[in-house]
Homo-oligomer: A and B are copies of this chain.
């Protein structure tokens, strides 16, 4: 009997989390990769800059990899490419704006010679045994696509991130007809975006925000300062349109927004009326009623332009009483407090701030329950894998599919590294490949792990106390020290007596060790550590890291 053909779907990131999306689609020995994103560090990942998927499985199987398909240009879908492409030489397929953003990103990492193919929605690309169709979806960035991957065992649909916008800013709606046609012909498996599965109803149209902008821009007597995600090109378009309608000139401030506006404009994704986009100097010289500034910082990021303005620390722009600041974004979970703080500071500077809690200045880019149901019913898949969401969202999305009549055993709530395997006879969830987080800190890729993080945690809570002694190699007597140095523990000036007592404890401990003929450094150090740990806990109820260092001379 010949070996049975196998189709495998292996998520390497994006399941049980929001971020670092990456999925392998494999048929026997041929493999595609969908997206390669980053995630932002969790609170306890102290000092970490970004997190990427552990893609060792991809590297180990790189001979099988035929291409990387990228659904859209958000960081959680493209952010791992600069790392992945150092280790791989493989073609990328993406739409024009997505590729523009990827290339700008790779250039920063000195990766200039990648193989890239621009695709358009409805294009079909043949890669080995696979036929890949790109399908337009709506999202909070233009040029987003879902994928239909036709394999000998059937068609796999990956929605990418999507919503259904009946009145999109670009005029281009999610390709209902293609999804319906695929559903008609038969879909083996659907992978669908779970981000907003907790929200009932439909997600509002992006153009709704444009109407709110128009009104706010008309009402503002002085300058408008509008903060949004840099990549939300449609949002930027709507702000520019609202500015033009109210006779305002627009300047863009903030590195990432300047970058995106430049790329989007060059590639024709922005329609900017002549003389409307000017430099910041010109906008600053205009009367307030004619000025609009687009900027970054909608998440209250400490270094962003808006946060600097709020803290009165921006190089060029000073908030003036009467300015209207529009925050056109929702706080991403975890950013609520920094956003609130930025808003407070803006109010203190005298600005009038319009923010999400009290207005309609933002809509999500992800579909709510009704759109998710529509996707399931349009594509009528035999099997379903909810993707792009934390664990509870995957569960809720699975429940949604069950409500529409799918059999529970045909729904796979998988994890990163899970193998969902399809054969002629059926499908099953089983087996695992390596998957996980790789932490990036500065230039270090994966060199910060649990021990380093645990140390950073302890250091961050109660600081460190270092005890240094020089001992005589022959007698074991203390020749210099003990000296005590602390950082992040207590104010030294106010704790002199406690630190003096600590030195005395060290001397006593060393003396006792000498009397007991203990000479091994590891034991000496551990006795000193224990004695000091007790001492400081009694005095302060704190547990600084205690680090005895011994040097020895003749």
Contacts and interface: CB of A to CB of B under 8 A. Distances in A.
Nearest to A396: B358
A464 B461 contact: no
A323 to B, nearest CB: 14
Nearest to A482: B551
A198 interface: yes
Given A340-B333, A480-B551, A553-B480, A459 B444 contact: no
A87 to B, nearest CB: 18
> What is the interface residue range for chain A against chain B?
35 or more
Contact of A448 (B453, B468, B470, B490): B490
Interface stretch (A59-67, A149-157, A403-411, A541-549): A541-549
A44 to B, nearest CB: 10
Contacts of A455: 463, 487-488
Contacts of A337: 42-43, 333-334
Contacts of A421: none
B479 A16 contact: no
Contact of A442 (B344, B491, B541): B541
Identify the interface centre among A460, A539, A541: most chain B CB within 10 Å of its CB. Answer: A460
Interface in A478-494: 479-481, 483, 485, 487-491, 494
16 contacts: A43-B43, A46-B488, A333-B336, A347-B392, A347-B395, A442-B540, A442-B542, A443-B540, A444-B490, A447-B495, A456-B459, A457-B460, A459-B463, A468-B551, A470-B553, A485-B547
Interface of A: 16, 42-43, 46-47, 198, 333-334, 336-337, 340, 343-345, 347-348, 353, 357-358, 390-392, 395-396, 441-444, 447-449, 451-453, 455-457, 459-464, 466, 468-470, 479-481, 483, 485, 487-491, 494-495, 539-542, 545, 547, 549, 551-553
